[in-house]
Chain A
Amino acid sequence: MNPMKNVVLFGATSAIASAVARELVDTGARLFCVARDGEALEALLADLRVRGDDPDGARILGATADLADIDGHAAIWQQAQEALGEVDSVLLAWGTLPDQAACNASVDETLEAIHVNGTSAIALLARIAPDFEARGRGVIAAIGSVAGDRGRQSNYAYGTAKGMLAIYLQGLRNRLFFSGVDVVTLKPGFVRTPMTEGFNRAGALWAEPETVARGIIRAMHRGRDVAYLPGKWWVIMTIIRLIPEYLFKRLKL
């Protein structure tokens, strides 16, 4: 069975998820796109409907939701299931890149960053897991980050959230293995998206969202456990994880 037939994208207007959606419409997938900005969502849906020869929106659907608002999760998940009839896979893609300096100056900022990038994603995973478990198939995927592999002074609020998400996914993978559900942790490196605008993005470490999107779809198809995107980040992060802490703490990273 094609695990990418009926797909729910949470944070669909992100550059990476939009690129995933464009790839998927070509394969005939049915999509339910969730995003918080209504106008952006409409623009995304219109584009996907043109690309997918679906002018009436029969298979390309969506709704708005602020995914940081955990109380709204049940309703939007319900709506997605009703719209698609059946959900084969979900991709959690929303996030923000918090300003670490602002977090250092404010407890609220820090907790907010961890909420948007970590806790709120975990809340949604916890919400939908029983439905996947009951059906005994499907793919649950979420976008973490290489930043979650090690805490660095320059972005450890974000790193904490992504790291926490990765560990939650690890446990969930273990739990759902026994009911035949794949849980995929996606760890992109540096990607040229609005999130990283303003960075100097020249150089071989920077990837295009389209490249990462193809990697995401491949990983979800195969039910990979953890996928670094592009793959070379596995090598880089393995080296970075191996640096002893007494040295690492001295680095200006």
Chain B
Amino acid sequence: MTASWNRIPRVEHAAEVALGWRGRALPDVPRPLLAHGLGRSYGDVCLNPEASLLHTPGLDRFVAFDAATGRMTAEAGVSLDALLRFAVPRGWFPPVVPGTRFVTLGGAVANDVHGKNHHQAGSFGDHVRALTLRRSDGQVLEVTPENTPDWFAATVGGLGLTGLIETVTLQLAPIRSAWMRAWSQRFDSLDAFWELNTQSEREWPYTVAWIDCLNPGAGGRVGRGIYSGGRHATTAPRKDAWHERRRSIPLDPPVSLVNRLTLRAFNHLYYRQPVHATPRAVHHLPWLFPLDAIRHWNRIYGHNGFYQYQCVLPPAASKDGVQALLDAIAASGQGSFLAVLKTFGDRAAPGLLSFPRPGATLALDFPEKGRDTERLFARLDAIVQEAGGALYPAKDARMPTDVFRQGFPRWEAFAEYVDPEFSSGFWRRVTA
């Protein structure tokens, strides 16, 4: 049974097919279809209940690479992990990476993913130069931002609904080292965060903050945390070798290991971890993908799974809105291991349904607690809607229709491009 990363919802599919080669007709399985990459979405954008999934990781070939310009064309099932292995030793880096490298290029396009460098680099789609898109009527469209801007805007951030992306042409960014220079610093309130952020975003290409959403900081309000910034280094340290010490959660614990006690302790310890105000050398893998060192970390939530809640609030409403969200979470007594706060840059994202937009984005995970969780989310939704914000479809298993439509006002224009033989659990849910 194929599930998404948070294991909610649990659904059955009519058929699941592993694709092996590009350039072939779509398989003869029950319609509608949906591509499924590495299932790192937290919800049903990558699921197609009672219908069919096309697994893309077998489309894992490079197609062409220009070593002089760093332009890479690859099949859509190539993972960022594979791309990094190829590109880093050759002095190139994916221009945008999410918090895990185990995503496919197709998935990165379809959710128009963002990384810690959004304020300088924009989203993944900003670096896509071309796509090939297979439609159910047999056409294969060569989609580029110049020649077919409408199809490009629909397919980038298009949640897999415009058809099967077979290849992606991506402009890589030059680097001079596999290492980074990174620093971190504690802040004791959201005010302190905003101050630090304005300063750091100007100087550091990668920035992100972790928030302790359980233990109050200055003034007795929730909002303390750790800010970090980084950039690609120009040199490697003397001891250049780095080996990932991989750990794995081997199986589901009988009960979720995430409860009030462990959450409070974790947040407290995390806040107290040593910080390094002076930039030091760190390898790009642990710095950009800290969770990738623990395979199957999603299992700590047990069989019931968990939710991610990621929203973006426009700039004018960011300060008050983020504080209101954190206060509501603290008041609910439900907390998150990983509350991540970051501001997006000002550029408009390329896709009709792209999530990144100017403002602040807050991402949190919550154990599945039935009605309590529902009530908390309703409260958070109200704050997001009031602020004129949006929720991230890639991290959603439950947003109500009106929240979607308000957050993605161009959804009807987008719907024109949806392939009549493609659909997803998410799409049926928010357009029902």
Given A46-B61, A46-B63: A194 and B86 interface contact (C-beta under 8 Å)? no
Is A205 engaged at the interface, CB distance under 8 Å to the other chain?
no
Partner of A43, one of B18, B21, B65, B86: B21
Is A69 engaged at the interface, CB distance under 8 Å to the other chain?
no
In contact, B64 and A50 (Cβ under 8 angstroms) = yes
Given A50-B62, A51-B86: A43 and B67 interface contact (C-beta under 8 Å)? no
- Measured in the bound complex, the distance between the Cα atoms of B86 and A198 in whole Å is 31
Given A39-B23, A53-B67: A44 and B61 interface contact (C-beta under 8 Å)? yes
In contact, B20 and A51 (Cβ under 8 angstroms) = no
Is A111 engaged at the interface, CB distance under 8 Å to the other chain?
no
CB nearest neighbor in A for B62 = A50
A residues 1-23 in Cβ contact with B at 8 Å: 15
* Per-residue contact bits, chain B 19-34, to A (CB 8 Å; 1 contact, 0 not): 0111100000000000
CB nearest neighbor in A for B66 = A55
Residues of A within 8 A of B86 (CB): 50-51
- Measured in the bound complex, the distance between the Cα atoms of B23 and A39 in whole Å is 8
In contact, A43 and B64 (Cβ under 8 angstroms) = no
* Per-residue contact bits, chain A 53-77, to B (CB 8 Å; 1 contact, 0 not): 1010000000000000000000000
In contact, B65 and A50 (Cβ under 8 angstroms) = yes
Residues of B within 8 A of A55 (CB): 64-65, 67
In contact, A40 and B18 (Cβ under 8 angstroms) = no
- Measured in the bound complex, the distance between the Cα atoms of B73 and A46 in whole Å is 11
In contact, A47 and B21 (Cβ under 8 angstroms) = no
- Measured in the bound complex, the distance between the Cα atoms of B333 and A20 in whole Å is 54
In contact, A47 and B18 (Cβ under 8 angstroms) = no
CB nearest neighbor in A for B60 = A47
Partner of A50, one of B21, B58, B63: B63
Residues of A within 8 A of B61 (CB): 43-44, 46-47
In contact, B62 and A47 (Cβ under 8 angstroms) = yes
Is A245 engaged at the interface, CB distance under 8 Å to the other chain?
no
For residue B306, give the distance in angstroms from its CB to the closest CB of chain A: 23
In contact, B21 and A39 (Cβ under 8 angstroms) = yes
Given A39-B23, A43-B23: A194 and B63 interface contact (C-beta under 8 Å)? no
How many residues on the A side are at the interface (Cβ–Cβ under 8 A)?
A: 13
Partner of A47, one of B20, B23, B63, B67: B63
For residue A64, give the distance in angstroms from its CB to the closest CB of chain B: 14
Is A197 engaged at the interface, CB distance under 8 Å to the other chain?
yes
CB nearest neighbor in A for B85 = A51
Given A43-B23, A44-B61, A47-B62: A194 and B67 interface contact (C-beta under 8 Å)? no
Residues of B within 8 A of A194 (CB): 18, 20, 58
Residues of B within 8 A of A50 (CB): 62-65, 86
Residues of A within 8 A of B75 (CB): 43
For residue A94, give the distance in angstroms from its CB to the closest CB of chain B: 15
In contact, B18 and A46 (Cβ under 8 angstroms) = no
- Measured in the bound complex, the distance between the Cα atoms of B15 and A197 in whole Å is 13
Interface of A is mostly: helix
- Measured in the bound complex, the distance between the Cα atoms of B11 and A124 in whole Å is 49
Residues of A within 8 A of B58 (CB): 194
CB nearest neighbor in B for A18 = B61
Residues of B within 8 A of A39 (CB): 21, 23
- Measured in the bound complex, the distance between the Cα atoms of B62 and A21 in whole Å is 14
- Measured in the bound complex, the distance between the Cα atoms of B86 and A55 in whole Å is 15
For residue A52, give the distance in angstroms from its CB to the closest CB of chain B: 10
Identify which of B22, B58, B62, B75 gathers the most chain A CB atoms within 10 Å of its CB.
Answer: B62
- Measured in the bound complex, the distance between the Cα atoms of B159 and A87 in whole Å is 48
- Measured in the bound complex, the distance between the Cα atoms of B57 and A197 in whole Å is 14
Residues of B within 8 A of A43 (CB): 21-23, 61, 63, 75
Residues of B within 8 A of A51 (CB): 62, 86
- Measured in the bound complex, the distance between the Cα atoms of B63 and A39 in whole Å is 12
- Measured in the bound complex, the distance between the Cα atoms of B20 and A221 in whole Å is 29
B residues 61-118 in Cβ contact with A at 8 Å: 61-65, 67, 75, 86
- Measured in the bound complex, the distance between the Cα atoms of B61 and A47 in whole Å is 5
- Measured in the bound complex, the distance between the Cα atoms of B65 and A39 in whole Å is 19
- Measured in the bound complex, the distance between the Cα atoms of B62 and A44 in whole Å is 9
In contact, A46 and B67 (Cβ under 8 angstroms) = no
Residues of B within 8 A of A197 (CB): 18
- Measured in the bound complex, the distance between the Cα atoms of B61 and A39 in whole Å is 13
- Measured in the bound complex, the distance between the Cα atoms of B75 and A53 in whole Å is 18
Residues of A within 8 A of B18 (CB): 194, 197
Residues of A within 8 A of B22 (CB): 43
CB nearest neighbor in A for B22 = A43
CB nearest neighbor in B for A47 = B61
In contact, B23 and A46 (Cβ under 8 angstroms) = no
For residue A193, give the distance in angstroms from its CB to the closest CB of chain B: 9
For residue B362, give the distance in angstroms from its CB to the closest CB of chain A: 37
- Measured in the bound complex, the distance between the Cα atoms of B167 and A46 in whole Å is 13
CB nearest neighbor in B for A46 = B63
Partner of B64, one of A44, A46, A53: A46
Residues of B within 8 A of A40 (CB): 21
For residue A93, give the distance in angstroms from its CB to the closest CB of chain B: 15
- Measured in the bound complex, the distance between the Cα atoms of B18 and A247 in whole Å is 38
CB nearest neighbor in A for B90 = A53
10 smallest A-B Cβ distances: which pairs? A47-B61, A50-B62, A50-B65, A47-B62, A194-B20, A40-B21, A46-B63, A43-B61, A39-B23, A197-B18
17 contacts between A and B (CB under 8 A): A39-B21, A39-B23, A43-B21, A43-B22, A43-B23, A43-B63, A44-B61, A46-B61, A46-B63, A47-B62, A47-B63, A50-B62, A50-B63, A51-B62, A55-B64, A194-B58, A197-B18
Beyond A43-B21, A50-B63, A51-B62, list 19 extra A-B contacts (CB 8 Å).
A15-B20, A39-B23, A40-B21, A43-B22, A43-B23, A43-B61, A44-B61, A46-B63, A46-B64, A47-B61, A50-B64, A50-B86, A51-B86, A55-B64, A55-B65, A55-B67, A194-B20, A194-B58, A197-B18
Please report A residues at the B interface, Cβ cutoff 8 Å: 15, 39-40, 43-44, 46-47, 50-51, 53, 55, 194, 197
